[in-house]
Amino acid sequence: MQGNLPTRAIMNGQVALELIEGDITVQATDAIVNAANSSLLGGGGVDGAIHRAAGPDLLRETRQLGGCQTGDAKMTRGYKLPARYVIHAVGPIYQYADPGVATLLASAYRRSLELATEQQLNSIAFPSISTGAYGYPLAEAASVALRTVIEYGREHARPALIRFVLFNQSILQEYQQVLLGFLQKNWVDPA
Ligand code: AR6
C-alpha cells in the first residue's frame, strides 16, 4: 500500500496484479508489452525506448511481421532486454465519443495476455497503452486496462504475474484509484 492506495491485488487466488512506477525496459518479466503502432517499425515513447534498449535485431524481426492491426498484438524475442519476449500491442488512437476505442483498447490487452498464455509465460509487464501519443484519457484508459486484465486473470492461471509499469507517480496514482474502486466492488481480492 502507498498511502491508502493499493499496489497489489489477487485474482482467482492465484494470479497477482501489481502496479509500480518505473521504466518497462528494465523489467525482468518473461515478456514486456510494447505500445506499438500498426507498422511495428518503431516510434517514440515507450516504443522508441524498447527498440533502443533491445538493439537493432528487434527491428529486423518486426520488419518480417507485416504489421499488426489495431487491437491485436504480435510477439518477438527481447534481444538485449532483460525480458525474453516483447509483445507488440497496438492500441487505438483516441477519438472522443467513439465507443469503439474502448473495445479496441481492451482487445490490445486481451490479445497480449492470450499470447503470453499460449507461450506458457509466467509473468508479463504492461505500459499504459494509448495514453501518450495516442491521447486516450488516463482515467478511462486505466479503467479499461485494469478491468480487462482482471477479467482475464480470473479465468486463466497464466501468466501468474501481471504487472503495470507506469512511467511516473501521477500515472501510477490514476491506476491505483481505479484498482481501489475494483477492490471495493470485490472484483479482485486484496493482496
Ligand atoms: N516505460 C514505461 N512507460 C513509458 C516509457 C517507459 N520507458 N516511456 C513512455 N512511457 P506512448 P501510445 C509511457 O506515447 O499512447 C509511439 O510513437 C508514457 O508516459 O509510448 O500507445 C508508437 O510508435 C505513456 O503513459 O504510447 C505509436 O506510434 C505510455 O507509456 C504511438 O507512440 C504510452 O505512451 C503509441 O502511442
Reported as a single tens digit per residue, the pLDDT across 46-61 is 999 999 999 999 999 9
Q: What is the pLDDT of residue 74?
A: 98
For residues 174-183, give the mean pLDDT: 98
Instruction: Give residue for cell 518486426.
Output: 62
Rg (CA), the chain: 15
For 7-39, write each residue's pLDDT tens digit: 999 999 999 999 999 999 999 999 999 999 999
Partnered with residue 16 across adjacent β-strands are: 10, 161
Residue 132 pLDDT greater than 80, yes or no: yes
Average per-residue pLDDT for the chain: 97
Q: Catalytic pick from 23, 30, 47, 98?
A: 47
Q: What is the pLDDT of residue 3?
A: 61
For residues 157-165, give the mean pLDDT: 98
Cα–Cα separations (whole angstroms), residue 138 to 112, 133, 134, 170, 171: 20, 12, 11, 10, 7
Q: What is the dihedral of CA 157, 54, 63, 124, to 10 degrees?
A: 10
For residues 41-48, give the mean pLDDT: 98
Alpha helices in the chain (DSSP H): 45-54, 56-62, 100-118, 138-155, 169-184
Q: Which residues line ligand 1 (CB under 6 A)?
A: 23-25, 35-37, 43-47, 49, 91, 127-134, 165, 167, 171
Nearest atom (ligand 1) to Cα of 131:
15
Residue nearest to atom 11 of ligand 1 (CA): 132
Instruction: Give residue for cell 501481471.
Output: 162
Residue 45 CA to ligand 1 center (angstroms) comes to 4
Residue 128 pLDDT greater than 80, yes or no: yes
More confident residue, 97 or 39: 39
Closest CA to 109 of 173, 163, 47: 163
Residue nearest to atom 18 of ligand 1 (CA): 132
Q: What is the pLDDT of residue 70?
A: 98
Residue nearest to atom 21 of ligand 1 (CA): 130
For residues 71-93, give the mean pLDDT: 98
| Catalytic annotation present for 57 | no
For residues 149-167, give the mean pLDDT: 98
For residues 36 and 68, the answer to whether their CB atoms sit within 8 Å is yes
C-alpha cell at 175: 491506476
Expressed in percent and rounded to 5, the helix, strand and coil fractions of the chain are 40, 20, 40
